[in-house]
Structure 1
């Protein structure tokens, strides 16, 4: 009896942990990210989930950027998760607020352009 109960609990846990995350909102966009250390420009998607925003950029049908922006960190397929402060320091500028990236990709504007000539940073998001 206990063995059967443990099996049921294990299967329930396994199935619930594999459940897919539900997208709250997904928008196609043309995205340009040009910094001294990053250069991406192509079509992609901005998808909003409960606890993160996912930015994906595709070129010739292949994913060239898959970035997840959480409240406390940024994760991509090309590097391990980093704190927002560390990400800004490495790829943008340490003077930027922690929520800078999230504010760029989560606003409701049709087109967002951020230009920082002093630090040679240009980010454009044009939602379809």
Structure 2
């Protein structure tokens, strides 16, 4: 009987609601091979995961959750699988997580500190990236692959 209760507890705890420590309303623009979006979204994070929920006309249209896997409405996949399907295979596995947290990408390659953030310019045979982060916004553009991420505070 103990084992049955333990199995039920484990099974139902996997479906429990996640409590995020920080929730921010943002204006989000995404242009990638699989997602074209520009509207309001919620960026939620805890120490274990990050969630980006995209809304259009007040209705949730996509939810992207990042922890050890990246989950979308199409299912969960590895970070490299997400890059292959949604971004570009040349990107490092942690690029989506780092962008959503406004952290440096490519291990801080070519970083330049600015008054309230930083910039990175990364160019090689696969990418031509401009990445800017400040206290109110994040801007990522890969000219070579036509990918744009722009996340900014709603009151800016």
More helix by percentage: 1
User: Whose RCO is larger (CA < 8 A, sep 6+)?
Assistant: 1
- Residues 1:19 and 1:116: Cα distance change in structure 2 (over 3 Å): closer
1:107-126 CA-to-partner distances (Å, cap 9, x unmatched) read 27310010011101111000
User: Which contiguous aligned blocks of 4+ residues in structure 1 show a shift greater than 4 angstroms?
Assistant: none
How many corresponding residue pairs? 122
Matched, 1:86 2:81: yes
Residue equivalent to 1:76: 72
Distance 1:19 1:81, change over 3 A: closer
The alignment status of 1:45 with 2:71, answered yes or no, reads no
Q: CA RMSD in A?
A: 2.6
Aligned counterparts of 1:31 and 1:123: Cα–Cα separation in 2 = 7
* TM-score normalized with structure 1 length: 0.81
1:13 to 4, 9, 13: 9
Check whether the contact 1:21–1:49 (CA below 8 A) recurs between aligned residues: no
Give the whole-Å Cα distance in 1 for the aligned partners of 2:141 and 2:26.
18
